[in-house]
Structure 1
Amino acid sequence: MPSNASFQPERGCHAGRPALPWTGFRGRPSPPQPPETPLSTAQQDLTTAPIPVLIRRLAIPASIAFLFNTMYNVVDTFWAGRLSTTALAALSLSFPVFFVLLAMGSGFSTGVTALVGNALGADRRRDAARIASQGLLTSTGVAVVVMTAGFLAVEPLFRLLGADGEYLAICLAYMQTILLGAFLPLTSFMLNGILNAQGDMVTYRNFLIGATVLNLVLDPWFMFGGLGLPAMGIRGVAVATLVAQAGGIVYVGRRAWATGLLHRSEGAMWRPHWPTLRDIFTQGVPASLNMMTVALGIFIITWFLSRFSENAVAAYGVATRIEQLVLLPTVGLNVATMSIVAQNSGAGRFGRVRSTVRTALGYGAVVMVFGSALVYFGSDALMGLFTDDPEVIATGGHYLRIAAFVEYAYVLLFVNTSALQGLKMPAFALWIGLFRQIAAPPLIFWLLAHVLGWGLDGIWWGVFGTTWSAAIIAVWYARRQTDRLAAREAELDAVLRDPAAAAE
């Protein structure tokens, strides 16, 4: 991290000239505000520090956080399997419902990151404080809705998915416990969004490392009992999750409070402010729905694969887990891109926005050269780590050799959509998600697999085609937007350098 003396920016401005005017919420000029407390160097860096340095500083801890988030889920799966096969199946069956909770939390957190980052970049710290406090109010309201709707829908949904008897009881024991504490993960997500907007990726990383270690202890203790606690079975896995989330709120909340955004929020800022809430929902709802399209996309491809064989479904499930692990180092690039873009967008530094996207894509290309090579040449060996079924290994290995040429498309897609979210353009991510996950796959899978007679290969090449087409559209649209904004910035520079020439 650069020293404090290295970067002392004039907030919201370029060297020697004012920023493009920030119009506050919904395009309305913000009212005059009292002098702001200077930001810390860590917060200021996002609009002044060298972009490659920033991306490395933000992306590495964010990627580590996602790694430990994955490990956290592995711990739950491991201990549920030790309880019983039914408990393990219940955990899997509960995932679609739990995914809705994650999508809501992650989506609204993304919206708050974009809004707070833009406000800080424009030197509107009071606006940023209002967004932060209203974001926490939003997480509470969303939690109430999710909890209520979940309790009403979860039993019919599990029955629809085929659960009954003891299987249904175990599913309900886990999911209803999670729903009772829905406000905990949603609040944790929101606090992290506030920190991400200021370039702090380390706090949430530390929380997830600690939560994973804690989960290793709490899962077996709560499931099987001991030291005065009764055995809770699968409910113990849910309770362990909520305890870890509660601890995370204390730790992450203290760090968010220390930034000054929350404790500078007067009492009035904690009352509903409808224009701000509207902006949060405008940013958060598309991001949440975009995540939900992923679940629908998984259902669609699974349905097509099930027409071929159970082994095809199993092979795809294992192969996608391998892809997720290979892509893990690039996940931090998405978070870093959005945080840097948001602040530089607010500061009117759109040249830096464009450079951020290009640099992130460059880093992603380097990582994916090695990742794709690993997937292509090690496909069968990687499959063998998860299954010993020869047919599943052969099917999944063949898919991975095709997928090796798709991995960079995911980087292109996710980095560019993250940049657009940082620019407060969240709708694109939803529309491209609907295209990639829901609209295009059924048509392309049917055409390639059945009309052209490619069989199972038609599904694999369909994934290739839909992903690359979405990536190309994302690159084109994001470049168009960033080039337009950078041109505005250049025009303003020209006016300020030579007002007389501009007037002519």
Structure 2
Amino acid sequence: MTDVDLTQGAIISHVKRIAIPASVGMLFNTLFNVVDTYYAGKLSTDALAGMTISFPIFFIIIALSSGIGSGATALNAIALGEKNKKYFHSLSYNAVFFGLFLAVLIALASPLMVPFLFELSGATGLSKALGIQYTNVIFWGSIFFILNSVLNAMLNAQGDTKSYRNFLIIGFFMNLILDPLFIFGWFGLPQLGTIGVALATVIIQVFGTLYMLYRLNKSPTFELQAFKNAHFNLEVMFQLFKQGFPASLNMMTIALGVFVINFYVLKYAGSVTIAAYGAAMRVEQLILLPALGLNIATLTIVGQNFGAKNFERIFETKQKTLRIGIGMMVFGALLIYPLAPHIISLFNNDQAVIMAGTHYLRIEAFALPTYIILNILISALQGIKKPNFAIYIGIYRQIFIPITLFYFLGTVLDMGITGVWWGIVLNNWSATIIAYFYTKRVMKSLG
């Protein structure tokens, strides 16, 4: 247990050991998406717009897999903090079962769900058709996305973020080769366009599942025989659902939030700005990357110390990760403002797209610290088995306020697309203030 025990030792050392590999992995995951965006932009503006519109729909898979993964990470970390390896393996077994069940449901629902969601988004024409083609392939490969999140959860709970980092790095380089191979039909292969982008992604996820299984079997806590001896347990499944569902629903609200943003962007601006927003989101993700590993570090360290009832270490973890994250985001905001047009031009050389993307990024820079503050606070709450707040703040931040605020700023005050961008900033800061004081009150109740 000494290799995975986060209940002792310097917290900053644990944060670095967990957060840095996780952030590096997320960097390559984002670069993976940047490659997809780059090649979609080379295909056409319609292809780029279609994939941007598909993002909140694709996010359904991300939300479900991330919810199961973060829920399993929290419960497995708590089990390790309690030194209960039998429960660790029971959780792991049931998390795999749960993940497979959800993946089958997604694949069966996709033929009806995907076209309906694109209709609901207001997409039309070629961008709609290309987006549907891309999303259908992704939905059929959802089993591998979900399995990778579950397997990664078992490793994260032990403080191992290096394995997933390795997969994401390898996956990025695989994508550099597979994307153009399938998109443009190199070496005699058929030209698949946006379908090729999705096919490359699914193949890489299959590789990831095999690699993560290998790494899990080599980990210090996992025992294959103990996993085989575990069985389906309704109570364990309920605990996973109780812990993971709020995280999934919170992620779903993010998808709905992007859906709402896309709706208002189409209403006030059109497909060119949608394409610009898609490229700008990739840039924003890159800026957020150095701090996002702090979420996993917070969840894992807080979870193990909650299991061990080391409450002072929980408080210390929250405070230190917040300070580090805020500092990184302030630096990122100062960096993104002057460089915005140059970065957007890497994705698309259309001057209208560059101007629209720059306009968004220079306003969004004021909201950057809110993302990391919210993520760390929600991770800390999940680590102490208080996951439900994520649902409420997600509905507030992604649906309730945007629907009213974007309309008020964009239509009533006649700010148009600028009202949408400033609405995101105001909305995020209000949610961050609420989350901060709520978390502070809950933490005081621990003792």
Deviation at 1:218, TM superposition (A): 2.5
Greater Rg over alpha carbons, structure: 1
Q: Deviation of residue 371 (structure 1)? A: 1.1
Report the AA paired with residue 237 of structure 2. Answer: L
CA distance in 2, matches of 1:188, 1:374: 33
Structure 2 alignment gaps of length 5 or more = none
Q: Amino acid of the residue matched to residue 202 of structure 1?
A: K
**Could you say if the C-alpha distance between residues 421 and 190 of structure 1 is closer, same or farther in structure 2, counting changes exceeding 3 Å?**
same
- Distance in 1 of aligned mates of 2:183 and 2:348: 27
The CA RMSD measured in Å over matched residues stands at: 2.9
TM-score normalised to structure 2 length? 0.89
| 1:129–1:321 Cα change, 3 Å | same
| 1:202 to 1:307, Cα distance in 2 relative to 1, 3 A | same
Q: 2:32 aligns with which of 57, 65, 72?
A: 72
Q: Decide whether the 8 Å contact of 2:103 with 2:146 is kept in 1.
A: yes
Structure 2 counterpart of 1:273: 233
Q: Post-superposition shift, 1:241?
A: 2.2
Residue type at the aligned position of 1:340: I
Distance 2:45 2:12 in 1: 47
Q: Aligned pair in 2 of structure 1 residues 389, 338: CA closer, same or farther (>3 Å)?
A: same
* 3-state SS in 1 of match to 2:386: coil
> For residues 257 and 432 of structure 1, what CA distance do their matches in structure 2 show?
37
The partner residue of 1:241 within 182, 196, 201 is 201
Residue in structure 1 matched with residue 85 of structure 2 by the alignment:
125
- 1:63 aligns to what? 23
1:463 partner amino acid? I
How far apart, in 2, do the equivalents of 1:220 and 1:397 lie? 28
Gap change, CA 1:394 and 1:242, over 3 Å in 2: closer
Q: 1:417–1:429: 8 Å Cα contact kept in structure 2?
A: yes
Match of 1:404 in 2: 365
CA distance in 2, matches of 1:357, 1:98: 31
Query: Offset at 1:156?
Result: 4.2
Name the amino acid aligned to 2:209: I
Matched, 1:428 2:393: no
Q: Tell me the secondary structure at the aligned position of residue 374 of structure 2.
A: helix
Change (3 A) 1:165 1:445: closer
Query: What is the distance in 1 between the residues matched to 2:406 and 2:118?
Result: 28
Match of 1:54 among 14, 19, 35: 14
Number of matched pairs:
445
Deviations for 1:385-420, whole angstroms, at most 9, x for unmatched residues? 555666665565455444333221222111111111
Give the direction of change, closer, same or farther, for the CA distance of 1:87–1:347 in structure 2 (3 Å limit). same
Matches within 5 A, 1:221-370: 221-223=181-183, 234-259=194-219, 260-265=221-226, 267-269=228-230, 271-310=231-270, 313=274, 316-370=277-331
1:113 pairs with 2:73? yes
Give the SS at the match of 2:159. coil
The alpha carbon displacement at 1:315 in A equals: 5.3
How far 1:81 moved relative to its partner? 5.1
The residue that corresponds to 2:59 in the other structure is 99
Match in the other structure for 1:445: 406
For the residues of structure 1 that align with 2:118 and 2:143, how far apart are their CA atoms?
A: 22
Amino acid of the structure 2 residue aligned with 1:66:
M
| Distance in 2 between residues matched to 1:241 and 1:456, nearest whole Å | 32
Report the CA distance shift for 1:312/1:85 in structure 2 as closer, same or farther (over 3 A).
closer
Q: CA deviation at 1:336?
A: 1.1
- Aligned residue identity for 1:297: G
- Structure 2 CA distance for partners of 1:221 and 1:301, relative to 1, 3 Å: closer
Higher RCO (Cα < 8 Å, 6 or more apart): 2
> In 1, distance between residues paired with 2:73 and 2:211?
19
Match of 1:180 in 2: 140
The SS at the match of 2:35 is: helix
Q: Percent identity?
A: 43
Q: State how far apart, in whole Å, the 2-side matches of 1:202 and 1:391 are.
A: 41
3-state SS of 2:381 partner: helix
Structure with greater helix share of residues: 2
Give the C-alpha shift of residue 83 in structure 1: 5.6
Equivalent position of 1:216 in the other structure: 176
Superposed displacement of residue 423, structure 1: 1.4
Return closer, same or farther for 1:132/1:319 CA change in 2, 3 Å cut-off: same
> 335-344 or 453-462: which moved more?
453-462
Q: Give 1:220 deviation, angstroms.
A: 3.2
The alpha-carbon deviation at position 240 of structure 1 amounts to 2.5
Q: Does structure 1 residue 150 correspond to structure 2 residue 110?
A: yes
Aligned residues of 1:256 and 1:262 also touching (Cα < 8 A): no
For 1:181 and 1:262, the matched residues in 2 are separated by 28
Q: CA deviation at 1:124?
A: 1.1
State the Cα distance separating 1:458 from its structure 2 match: 3.7
Q: What amino acid sits opposite 1:107 in the alignment?
A: G
Distance 1:380 1:84 in 2: 20
Taking the aligned partners of 1:64 and 1:223, their CA distance within structure 2 comes to 27
| Cα separation, partners in 2 of 1:384 and 1:176, compared to 1, 3 Å | closer
Worse-matched range after superposition: 80-89 or 186-195: 80-89
- Distance between the aligned counterparts of 2:341 and 2:206, measured in 1? 41
What displacement does 1:287 show? Answer: 0.9
Q: Is the 8 A contact 1:399 1:460 kept in 2?
A: yes
Q: CA deviation at 1:52?
A: 1.0
Q: 1:60 Cα deviation (Å)?
A: 1.1
Q: Which digits, 9 at most, give the CA deviation of each residue in 1:343-387, with x for residues without a partner?
A: 111111111111001110111122123212113344455455555
Letter in 1 for 2:333: S
83 and 458 in structure 1: CA distance in 2 versus 1, 3 angstrom threshold: closer
Per-residue deviation at 1:166?
8.2
1:375–1:409 Cα change, 3 Å: same
Indicate conservation of the 8 Å contact 1:47/1:347, yes or no: yes
Q: In structure 2, how many angstroms separate the alpha carbons of the residues matched to 1:373 and 1:90?
A: 31
Partner of 2:374: 413
Pairs within 5 Å for 1:387-398: 396-397=357-358
TM-score, scaled relative to structure 1: 0.80
